[in-house]
Structure 1
């Protein structure tokens, strides 16, 4: 007989992401014993549950300890398993910076996307959901601001298609909006401080600071293979 732990893990492996308001996801985020059981089962397979309070979804990722055993020695492995070339990773970081950072600021100040001003009691309310605070960015503006740096229109369109296929973004006409993985698979603690000196340094021809590159969590499943590797260099920043 299937138990709830088995069902939740199987659903995450099958669907890649689940919403935070899903019944079993809500339970794993609030029930310490259930979370401990899930964590133990996942750890035995080299996996972990990935979530944060700013995202509307949860997913699975490889544990850091198991990554070298899967992808090889740290100095030679490809630092992402999404098939993203250097300009693709840089574009991903740009999108994260322009969509996720403003969204998190609105969430922390309890503003909704359509709010004109703060309510004096806003901070007593629950943290707003991502879908209520996330605002997309214009494709035309992105192309105008970063097209020359990120391979011009053809290359950027290819990378945007890859990122959409992987679940990082969604395209709604001219607007690029947050996908279920954009605020989950990026290591915010690293990215926030290294957004210019890390993945974007090569793009903007700025000297790298002596720090490790930004981290993109390794995806747990074959969903990463949805992106076809390009002919561009694969020694991408993480």
Structure 2
């Protein structure tokens, strides 16, 4: 492992995430040899590189098979390593569904329309969609009106939202909730999206997604 790879690993461990536009992050995404060495070292540590072509950041996470060993087993098993209570996790899933799902649908549709970037040498180093695909924010008051009482009331809602912001999942600005660096990385779209789209939140979220999409159409 060379110094550049050591620096990248140290930065990921210290900062938890770095933007894909960072030179070392970009190299990890386009230089096959560099990435193989990086992933080998992560594997030795029980970690994996977290990235997807739709996200603006990269990060590292725990290998799934080590969850029980790290977080405990049975009644002591923790669903996360960030100290999030259940109502905070529920709020996180709701925000992911309101912010990331509509954005991802647009990104996939755009990718299918213009063709993917596999022929582009640097395609893997950048998100498939760019600035115009940044997820719009959702109003805090609207989210609370729809879900607040089910998620512990006003005090718990505010406290949990603040914790999600501190952890990098969301950004709060002018009473709006925006996508944070980790929101599109730490939740597995392939596993979570079908459960939400076909599950209990489907009907509840449908109206919210349609409202967001209508607003976006009006702004185009």
Where does residue 29 of structure 1 map in the other structure? 29
Native 8 Å contact 2:50 2:60 kept in 1: yes
Contact 2:47 2:60 in 1 (8 A): yes
1:159 is the counterpart of 2:160: yes
Give the whole-Å Cα distance in 1 for the aligned partners of 2:92 and 2:200.
9
Partner residue, 2:169: 168
Cα distance in 1 for residues equivalent to 2:194 and 2:74: 22
How many residues align structurally?
Answer: 193
Offset at residue 163 of structure 1 (A): 0.2
CA contact (8 A) 1:89 1:199 kept: no
Tell me, in whole angstroms, the C-alpha distance in 2 between the residues paired with 1:85 and 1:131. 34
1:186 aligns with 2:177: no
Equivalences for 1:191-206 in 2 at 5 Å? 191-195=192-196
Equivalent position SS for 1:59 = strand
Instruction: Compute the TM-score of the two structures, normalised by the length of structure 1.
Output: 0.74
Q: 1:199 to 1:151 in 2, by over 3 A?
A: farther
**Which of structure 1's runs of 4+ aligned residues deviate more than 4 A?**
196-200
Task: Using CA pairs under 8 Å that are at least 6 residues apart, name the structure with larger relative contact order, 1 or 2.
Answer: 1
- The structure with the largest helix share of the pair is 2
Q: CA shift at 1:124, angstroms? A: 5.0
Unaligned runs of 5+ in 1: 112-120, 205-238
Gap regions ≥5 residues in structure 2: 118-127, 205-220
User: 1:11: which partner in 2?
Assistant: 11
Are residues 56 and 165 of structure 1, via their aligned partners in 2, closer, same or farther at CA, if it must alter by over 3 Å? Answer: same
Q: Which residue of structure 2 lines up, in the alignment, with residue 142 of structure 1?
A: 143
TM-score by length of 2: 0.79
Work out whether residues 103 and 133 of structure 2, in 8 Å CA contact, stay in contact via their aligned partners in 1.
no
Shift of 1:95: 0.1
**Over the residues paired in the alignment, what is the CA RMSD in angstroms?**
2.6
* Alpha carbons 1:55, 1:129 under 8 Å: kept: no
